[in-house]
Amino acid sequence: MAKLGFAITEAIISEYGQKEFLRRMSSPFWFQSLGAVMGMDWHSSGITTSVMGALKRSINTNAKELGIYICGGKGKYSRQTPAELTAYGEITGVNSTYLVRCSKLSAKVDNTAVQDGFQLYLHSFIVSNSGDWTVVQQGMRENSATARRYHWHSDSLKSFVEEPHTGICGVNQGNILNLVAREAIPAQNGIMQIAMEHPEKMMKEVEHLIMPGHHEVTASDVDIKRLGTMLWLAHETQPVDFEQLLLLQGMGPRTLQSLALVSEVIHGTPSRFKDPARFSFAHGGKDGHPFPVPTKVYDETIQTLQSAVSKARLCNSDKQMAIKALSEIAQRAEKDFKEENNYNNFNKLIEKERIESWKYGGKTVFGDAKPPSKLHRANQLKLF
């Protein structure tokens, strides 16, 4: 996960810059999609800890090159954020005193000013060498073992005490105490007066990502048309404009399928991430849903991304442009793509991936994927 996370981060910064990477990290839908494409359980609250932990390990060792640094983390590591920011300020010259204040205020708001029943246990502060920052932090509700994730971004922040978030991932908790809602400004000097604030007033123009309780990926969890187009792109005979992707041929349709989804995480617009479950079809999930993580494909994806960025530094961006074209071609094809057949093929696709998982080094937390029995192999259903 650390290697793929770094490769995706490097590609985004190389193509769009540090600000764009920070902006994307502040979007709950994009963040969930990133975690899914990295092979984490698509619906799990653990996606936050795993993604931020993997990114911190890989990004910080290359902080000078990328101009990005991640502070904090889970539990005791969250309390190290001020010291890490101070050290980063000494190296880069950014105003660490101000950044420490931002870190503390963002944590204080979500733990105290927003009393929704979730206690913060993870605080990650992502900062650039120009002083821009994003916060990704998560709280846990002990009596239900559910989590809620909060996103902040310096570019969109007007005030720490008035609608400061860019997004929240979690289930509506009903009536809560929210002192940073715009409607609560007159009452900020009389805290107890807003104890019955309505949850719909909690934030304006903030996206709420609510993940289902089931582990399996169902057709209702994904945009079937978009998923079907990606599969068509990887497995079917392509039109003339697919010629621009010749640089990527030779790696096989299964890796191309993963790259198409990774390409969208790197180059897609915000509206493309409303169904994060779709991105689990790149590299599966460690819990086996929708299928085991195909480690051989995973490694090929990393190598392709790293090679593309490396060549781009040498003024040879053909491969990087070819990866970008994957998502562009799929989007153009969507308008003519028929959904009905894909509803029928959805379960067949998952079954096919599970049957063939052993070929691609499939792994889950329960062990390695095994070859199917001869009878099972004989009954395989052809997808395309």
Q: Residue 201 — pLDDT band, cuts 50, 70, 90?
A: very low
Q: Residue 236 — pLDDT band, cuts 50, 70, 90?
A: low
- According to DSSP, the β-strands at 119-128 and 68-74 are antiparallel
Whether the pLDDT of residue 218 is over 80: the answer is no
Which one, of 265, 384, 240, lies nearest residue 323 by Cα?
A: 265
pLDDT of residue 300: 85
In the chain, domain spans: 45-209, 219-378
pLDDT of residue 193: 35
Higher local confidence (pLDDT), 90 or 324: 90
Whether the pLDDT of residue 353 is over 70: the answer is yes
Query: Torsions phi, psi of 221, nearest 5?
Result: -85, -10
Q: Residue 196 — pLDDT band, cuts 50, 70, 90?
A: very low
pLDDT of residue 182: 66
* pLDDT average, residue stretch 1-9: 94
Whether the pLDDT of residue 238 is over 50: the answer is no
The answer to whether 280 and 265 have CB atoms below 8 angstroms apart is: no
Residue 78: both structure tokens together: 């969250």
pLDDT of residue 189: 47
Ramachandran region, residue 163 (left: φ > 0; alpha: ψ -120 to 50; beta: rest): left
Whether the pLDDT of residue 80 is over 80: the answer is yes
Burial of 31 (0-12, 13-18, 19+ CB in 10 A): buried
Q: Residue 378 — pLDDT band, cuts 50, 70, 90?
A: low
Place of tokens 């769009």: 16
pLDDT of residue 327: 73
Residue 356: both structure tokens together: 């063939």
Question: pLDDT > 70: what percent of the chain?
Answer: 70
Which one, of 138, 265, 144, lies nearest residue 209 by Cα?
A: 138
Question: pLDDT > 90: what percent of the chain?
Answer: 33
pLDDT of residue 151: 95
pLDDT of residue 273: 77
Whether the pLDDT of residue 333 is over 70: the answer is no
The amino acid present at 162, given as its one-letter code, is: E
* pLDDT average, residue stretch 142-161: 85
For residue 222, how far is the Cα from the chain centroid?
15
